[in-house]
Amino acid sequence: MRLFIAILLSNEMKTSLIEAQNVMYERGLRGNYSPEENLHLTLAFIGDLPRAEPVLDALSTVSFRPFALTLEGIGRFGDLWWAGLQDSAALNAVARRVRRALAENCIPFDRKRFSPHITLVRKASRDAAGIGIAPAAMRVEAISLMRSDRGKNGMIYKELGRIEAEASGEGDYNMKYQIIQIDRDSWRIEDSGVRFFLLTGTERALLVDSGRSVHNARDIASGLTNLPICLLNTHGDMDHVGSNAQFDAFYMHPEEEENFRRGGREGEILPVREGERIDLGERVLEVIHLPGHTPGSIALLDLSRRVLISGDPIQDGRIFMFGRFRNMEKYIRSLEHLQAWRDRFDEIWPSHGSFPVFPELIDKLHDGAIQVLEGSVEGEAMEVHGNSIRAYDVGAAVFLCDP
């Protein structure tokens, strides 16, 4: 089915657009006029996809507050006539967020620069000068996922789902998250199924990952500490880098760069490798490289607290091992590698699943991963974010693998 993401227009705005179309028709301009029910503003054109659910999932991570849309002028690209819109930072920001959510969820879409316009006539017969449009404005409170089908008398558009703007007033454009203090100098932020951390020393603070649906982890952290804040990513998967744009540079393992840059993510990577230490002032964190879930997955050993901050490899939830960048053999070797550090931590703070977990989990994950690799555990076919995968429940966790 052909899909696109759009803002549906108010009746008042449609009235202005229809009036402009009438004037164009009176001036002798013939062509395919958009019928009233089809007038809309496209934010992203996706094209043919077998299923709409992955797009709705991606859209659900986009949040925005209501904003105004105002008609301004008539123009054309070749034989396509459109109504323009007043330049709006809010509109541009929403389009950017929608497109980023699609990119991060690997949903293909037309990447042509966003140039907001409402199509009035296609295949116009000729030019027509001096057509104006009555100014009309509306408040945008929803973004819709649309399906288009070719009907007998032109295109038929149908709304498949929508996301609503957040109630305006106080607050930012984030979805709900929860801040939980772990000890005097450590916090975990629970953000739609993923967890990230703020750790403070005497000199500076470190965010370990930057969230999935929040895009202001830095502001959240500044509400908890006055220290300068830096960012480290355990890896580059989308649910760990939600606020990276708030930082010019961040610590990451260099082998994670390709995974991180998918979808055009920017920022300078400050490479950290196994054995390197990050000193926050009386709190030293040592980097351990654990490839497998992704090539540059790292864990941090909080030396004085005897805590391992493990990212995705050590956790009791769902461990993503399907698709590009995953490698089960390397993952198993990483779990074995971790044995060398085993006497230096008593507790593990993972990015997903229960909090905290304990070192025995490493052995259970190791056994489970070997069973999956050897084919001695039964997998179940499933769909995750539009991907057909096989889920292996090994008791300690569920490995999601290629079918």
Q: Return the half-sphere exposure (C-beta side, CA atoms, 13 A cut-off) of residue 301.
A: 21
Per CB under 5 A, the list member of 209, 239, 255, 302 interacting with Zn ion is 239
Q: Which CB, 284 or 384, lies closer to Zn ion?
A: 384
Residue 293 CB, shortest distance to Zn ion, in Å, is 8
* Separation between Cα atoms, residue 178 and residue 337, nearest integer Å: 33
Q: Which CB, 312 or 316, lies closer to Zn ion?
A: 312
Q: Which stretch binds Zn ion (CB under 5 A): 73-81, 137-145, 205-213, 233-241?
A: 233-241
2, 147 Cβ separation under 8 angstroms: yes
Q: Which stretch binds Zn ion (CB under 5 A): 143-151, 236-244, 328-336, 388-396?
A: 236-244
Residue 171 CB, shortest distance to Zn ion, in Å, is 26
Q: Does 312 bind Zn ion (CB under 5 A)?
A: yes
209, 218 Cβ separation under 8 angstroms: no
Q: Which stretch binds Zn ion (CB under 5 A): 20-28, 110-118, 258-266, 308-316?
A: 308-316
Closest residue by Cα to residue 308 from 292, 285, 330: 285
* Separation between Cα atoms, residue 137 and residue 151, nearest integer Å: 31
Q: Which CB, 17 or 348, lies closer to Zn ion?
A: 348
Q: Which CB, 144 or 294, lies closer to Zn ion?
A: 294
Q: Does 302 bind Zn ion (CB under 5 A)?
A: no
Q: Which stretch binds Zn ion (CB under 5 A): 65-73, 214-222, 309-317, 335-343?
A: 309-317
Q: Which two structure tokens, joined as six digits, stand for 374?
A: 């050897």
Q: Which CB, 138 or 217, lies closer to Zn ion?
A: 217
Residues 61-120 that bind Zn ion (CB under 5 A): none
User: Site for Zn ion (CB under 5 A): how many residues?
Assistant: 3
Q: Which CB, 191 or 312, lies closer to Zn ion?
A: 312
Residue 234 CB, shortest distance to Zn ion, in Å, is 8
Closest residue by Cα to residue 2 from 139, 134, 155: 155
48, 1 Cβ separation under 8 angstroms: yes
Query: Who contacts 62 (Cβ-Cβ below 8 Å, separation ≥6)?
Result: 94, 97, 98, 101, 143, 163
Query: Who contacts 124 (Cβ-Cβ below 8 Å, separation ≥6)?
Result: 24, 29, 30, 31, 76, 79, 80, 81
**Site of interaction with Zn ion (CB under 5 A):** 237, 239, 312
